[in-house]
Amino acid sequence: MKYRMNQRTGDRVSEIGLGSAYLYKAETKEAVRALRTAYEGGINYFDLAAGHGMAFSLWGEALGDVRKNVLYQIHFGADYSGGEYGWSLDLDTVKRSVDWMLEQLKTDYINYGFIHCQDEDSDWETYRKNGVYEYLLSLKEAGTVRHIGLSSHTPSVIERILDEVPVDMLMFSVNPAYDYGHGEYANGGVDERTAVYRRCERDGIGISVMKPFSGGQLLDASQSPFRQALTRYQCIRYALDKPGVLTVLPGAQSTVEVKRLLAYYDQPEEALDYSIIGQFAPIEADGKCVYCNHCRPCPAGLDIGLINKYYDLALAGDRMAGEHYRKLARNASDCISCGHCDRRCPFHVHQRERMREISAFFRD
């Protein structure tokens, strides 16, 4: 397992985390075994916007004794009083639900308390009006909640909330289908979504990724907007390449499925290459580097994806990006204009020109 640091909280977060939408469907012993397998495989970050209330006692049983080693994101607005997942902006319901979740999880604290599921401006207005945000803050002041999170599918609402209140972790739906305008939660255009990634990286807000497989559609050629299936590993790499992303949170229903996720690190680089999606990039995404490194190898030894990422982040106002860039072994000025990357890039990036532009920007 590899880990990434949340710059605002100092938490070391596993690149692969685990969602909780479906695990409750497994038989109890198997579900507990699957969670323990995840933990022993190095997964330390768990989302608890569960599909059913039954999930919470499974986590309590599987991880109660190692609670201090794991990080939970818990949602203020998820309601399980009816068994199945429900969404509520009513303060008393939220309070009851949070107390109940803590009891089931066998814990008395929350690593990341989430402002839950804010997809419309009116959700946030109601959240504030009903005192749910203030309740979350009061638990933070009391030490029950360590850090504040926000979950949303909508870039404009994310930007608004980040403008108004401090947030340490964002849960956002990230996959190539949504980024390219396909699917139920494909909210915002390419540039709006990209701006969210860059803002999070710049401000040190970690992103935890929900729906990395677009609800499974991307894994099935007959449902995928790209008319061919991607693998789980390609989708995970895609999300991990986005600026700001710390962890990807796929679901699992068994030990076998958890082990399959953990096998991400056993895959050869070619198996993680998702550049096939370049064929389906919409016009607004064409010519924009997605940092996939499909254009490797560069004969001059440049890490083309990383150089482009730091440049884009610097343009977005990330002051650390310039420092990171200067620490690279090879910079844009080392480009020998061979044209290999231009020929290889499925996203039609004119990289030779871009390297000149980057070199001028950073004054190599």
Task: Out of 58, 102, 105, 355, name the contact with ligand SF4 by CB under 6 A.
Answer: 355
Task: Out of 63, 171, 272, 290, name the contact with ligand SF4 by CB under 6 A.
Answer: 290
Angle subtended at Cα 217 by Cα 37 and Cα 40, rounded to the nearest 5 degrees: 10
| Euclidean distance between CA atoms 188 and 191, whole angstroms | 8
Least CB distance to ligand SF4 at residue 307 (A): 8
Our finding on whether 351 is near ligand SF4 (CB under 6 A) is yes
Segment lying near ligand SF4 (by CB under 6 A), choices 8-16, 105-113, 147-155, 351-359: 351-359
Closer by beta carbon to ligand SF4, 116 or else 340: 340
Closer by beta carbon to ligand SF4, 75 or else 354: 354
Least CB distance to ligand SF4 at residue 361 (A): 15
Q: Enumerate residues 323-342 that contact ligand SF4 by CB under 6 A.
A: 335-341
Our finding on whether 302 is near ligand SF4 (CB under 6 A) is yes
Our finding on whether 352 is near ligand SF4 (CB under 6 A) is yes
Task: Out of 114, 291, 311, 325, name the contact with ligand SF4 by CB under 6 A.
Answer: 291
Query: Would you put residue 6 in left (φ > 0), alpha (ψ -120 to 50) or beta?
Result: beta
- Distances from the Cα of 96 to the Cαs of 49, 104, 347, in angstroms? 16, 12, 49
Our finding on whether 305 is near ligand SF4 (CB under 6 A) is yes
DSSP state of 16: B
Q: 311 with 325: CB under 8 angstroms?
A: yes
Residue type, 259: K
Please tell me whether the peptide bond between 297 and the residue prior to it is cis, using omega within 30 degrees of 0: yes
| Euclidean distance between CA atoms 155 and 76, whole angstroms | 20
Task: Out of 308, 325, 331, 358, name the contact with ligand SF4 by CB under 6 A.
Answer: 308
Nearest residue to 148 via CA among 125, 165, 123, 126: 165
CA dihedral 311→312→318→320, nearest 10 degrees, is -30
Residues contacting ligand SF4: total by CB under 6 A: 28
| Euclidean distance between CA atoms 6 and 207, whole angstroms | 9
Closer by beta carbon to ligand SF4, 260 or else 352: 352
Residue ranges binding ligand SF4 (CB under 6 A): 289-295, 298-300, 302, 304-305, 308, 335-341, 344-345, 347, 349, 351-352, 355
